Structure 1
Amino acid sequence: MTSAAVPVAVCQFAPTDSRERNRERIAELTAQAAARGARLVVFPEYSSYFVDPMDESLAANAETLDGDFVSSLRAAASDHGVVVVAGLVEQASDGQRVRNTLVAVRGDGILATYRKQHLYDAFGQKESDWVEAGELDAAATFEVAGIRFGLMTCYDLRFPEVARTLVDDGADALVVPAEWVRGPLKEHHWTTLLAARAIENTAYVISADHPTPIGVGHSQIVDPQGVVLAGAGTTEDIAVATVEAASIERVRAANPSLRVRRYRVVPA
């Protein structure tokens, strides 16, 4: 049984319409998370720029993968010897809409990128007015100290196929940056779906949300049996727990649901 283990942190913070301030706050929180032992530090969706409701300023403030935001993530990762995951408002090809992109970076470069596949056209919202959906490409995964992590975003959590494609690609843990908007039963849906994705995939789930009043908060690190190991409340906070390969192996030996299943995921 392997002894690989990675301390991870979820940083629940509220990005604003100030790109510079967002970069500064991420650097501060990364330092705090690293001081608590984290080797992977996860931030929410739309960490580079956020405005509610969405408007034309998204495109005006979108960046490329070699822009200031990703460069600042790499600098923070290098300073503290960690991997950082955060949500980027990325420039799209048409110049009108943007891409809702996750980046995982080390000090020496980008490890993985993921562009949100399921846009939040629900509960009275229309993300697709402003955002271009990601292609159904290969699963976005990366490795830290022998443990493989897979990327997905917010509303993707409601689609179990996304998580399953990551696990099929070898993911031991699902990383879920989000801006899970508040509303009737939304907190209940969030925490229930985080646990469900963990249980059905016998994998860790690592989620970072915006705090209230716009998000529901409750960023969590959930183990492969759906147990919350560490979590935040509704305000800005950092939660830290350890992802252990041995725990995944024990759960999958006792419950080999991935091995005995009889269906595969096929893009629609």
Structure 2
Amino acid sequence: MAKLVVGVGQFPASNDIEENKNYIRQLVSEAAQQGVKLFTLPEAAMCSFASELEVLRQMASEHTPDFIQFMQTLATQYQMHIVVGVLSMSDSDNEQRVQNQLLVINNKGEITTRYNKIHVYDAFKFKESDKVKPADLYEDGSMLGVFNIGEFTFGLINCYDLRFPELARALINRGVNVLSVSANWIPGPYKEMHWDLLLRTRAIENTAYVLASGQTAPKGVGQSMIIDPMGFVLAGCGESVGIQVQELDSERIQSVRELLPCLANRRL
């Protein structure tokens, strides 16, 4: 059986790229001091994705390459796998909207996974699809974000994706036993309750660990957390800038799935 030290970090991303880098540098350094081997950061960690489209396009074209290089350098320096949210230009010259991506950078500084957000946030009177192109879907599931570290298989979820259980189950069907959620969960009526309930539900129904990282105020609710496969919160960040660290245990996943074999008992 295997164990892996993981962490989640949270901070308030803005359009001040250097300030964002300083936050991230501090959080990654703190995580490294606690032995973290995989660190999950929020959605759109390089800038404020609530900005106007022209600002987002400028950020994506002028700052994203340097920001990614910065993250690769940190991953190499601290020998750490990192999940981080960025905005990128579309692959199509005819598409004006940007892409909301989660990147997985391994401990050698290599980008191993790029996941384009499938469910863009067209809810609560916000319309992300005006500025962000949803991911293209493929029958083979190649649009899903899945990666491995030893005996742990991780699946990527980006913010509003969390409200769609079929995405989490599609990841589980590909062998995922840890769900990594990056978000900028915007405050609003019942929103913090939804964040907590949905995260714990995804853990329970899939008997999987959940790592959740969200931006803090003023644009996000914070509340980053690490959740056990039985649905209880192992560690939480609250509302302040900071990190939480926990050790994942593959034997725990196995024992929960033996005790609660809902995946094996499925009939539909």
Confirm or deny that 1:226 pairs with 2:231. Answer: yes
Q: Which runs of 4+ in 1 moved over 6 A?
A: none
Confirm or deny that 1:172 pairs with 2:177. Answer: yes
Structure 2 residue runs without a partner (length 5+): none
Q: Counterpart of 1:83?
A: 81
> What is the RMSD of the two structures over their aligned residues, measured on CA atoms?
1.7
| CA distance in structure 2 between the aligned counterparts of 1:248 and 1:146, rounded to whole angstroms | 11
| CA distance in structure 2 between the aligned counterparts of 1:54 and 1:183, rounded to whole angstroms | 21
Task: Work out whether residues 210 and 228 of structure 2, in 8 Å CA contact, stay in contact via their aligned partners in 1.
Answer: yes
| CA distance in structure 1 between the aligned counterparts of 2:34 and 2:10, rounded to whole angstroms | 15
Structure 1 residues 78, 120: CA separation in 2 closer, same or farther (over 3 Å shift)?
Answer: same
| CA distance in structure 2 between the aligned counterparts of 1:142 and 1:64, rounded to whole angstroms | 28
How far does the alpha carbon of each residue in 1:124-182 deviate from its partner, in whole angstroms, 9 at most, with x for none?
Answer: 10000000001224231111232111111000000001101111111110000000000
Q: Counterpart of 1:101?
A: 101
The amino acid that maps onto 1:111 is T
The amino acid that maps onto 2:10 is Q
Q: Counterpart of 2:45?
A: 47
Structure 1 residues 65, 117: CA separation in 2 closer, same or farther (over 3 Å shift)?
Answer: farther
Percent identity for Structure 1 against Structure 2: 39
How far does the alpha carbon of each residue in 1:89-147 deviate from its partner, in whole angstroms, 9 at most, with x for none?
Answer: 01112452100000010224112111100010000100000000012242311112321
| CA distance in structure 2 between the aligned counterparts of 1:65 and 1:173, rounded to whole angstroms | 31
| CA distance in structure 1 between the aligned counterparts of 2:77 and 2:167, rounded to whole angstroms | 33
Q: Counterpart of 1:120?
A: 121
Helix, strand or coil at the partner of 1:207: strand
Greater displacement, 88-97 / 108-117: 88-97
| CA distance in structure 2 between the aligned counterparts of 1:180 and 1:120, rounded to whole angstroms | 10
TM-score, normalised on structure 2?
0.93
Helix, strand or coil at the partner of 2:184: coil
| CA distance in structure 1 between the aligned counterparts of 2:180 and 2:159, rounded to whole angstroms | 10
Task: Work out whether residues 64 and 86 of structure 2, in 8 Å CA contact, stay in contact via their aligned partners in 1.
Answer: no
Task: Work out whether residues 177 and 208 of structure 1, in 8 Å CA contact, stay in contact via their aligned partners in 2.
Answer: yes
The amino acid that maps onto 2:113 is A
Q: Counterpart of 1:160?
A: 165
Task: Work out whether residues 27 and 242 of structure 2, in 8 Å CA contact, stay in contact via their aligned partners in 1.
Answer: no
| CA distance in structure 2 between the aligned counterparts of 1:52 and 1:237, rounded to whole angstroms | 23
Greater displacement, 135-144 / 75-84: 135-144
State the 1:51 CA deviation.
4.8
| CA distance in structure 2 between the aligned counterparts of 1:64 and 1:5, rounded to whole angstroms | 39
Task: Work out whether residues 172 and 204 of structure 1, in 8 Å CA contact, stay in contact via their aligned partners in 2.
Answer: yes
The amino acid that maps onto 1:58 is L
Q: Which one of 246, 252, 257 corresponds to residue 252 of structure 1?
A: 257
The amino acid that maps onto 1:100 is N
TM-score, normalised on structure 1?
0.93
Q: Residues 49-64 of structure 1: matches in 2 within 5 Å?
A: 49-63=47-61
Task: Work out whether residues 64 and 87 of structure 2, in 8 Å CA contact, stay in contact via their aligned partners in 1.
Answer: no
Q: Counterpart of 2:131?
A: 130
Helix, strand or coil at the partner of 1:238: strand
Task: Work out whether residues 63 and 89 of structure 1, in 8 Å CA contact, stay in contact via their aligned partners in 2.
Answer: no
Structure 1 residue runs without a partner (length 5+): 264-268
| CA distance in structure 2 between the aligned counterparts of 1:145 and 1:64, rounded to whole angstroms | 36
The amino acid that maps onto 1:180 is W
State the 1:255 CA deviation.
1.0
Task: Work out whether residues 204 and 221 of structure 1, in 8 Å CA contact, stay in contact via their aligned partners in 2.
Answer: yes
State the 1:260 CA deviation.
1.6
Task: Work out whether residues 201 and 224 of structure 1, in 8 Å CA contact, stay in contact via their aligned partners in 2.
Answer: yes
Helix, strand or coil at the partner of 2:44: coil
Greater displacement, 173-182 / 212-221: 212-221
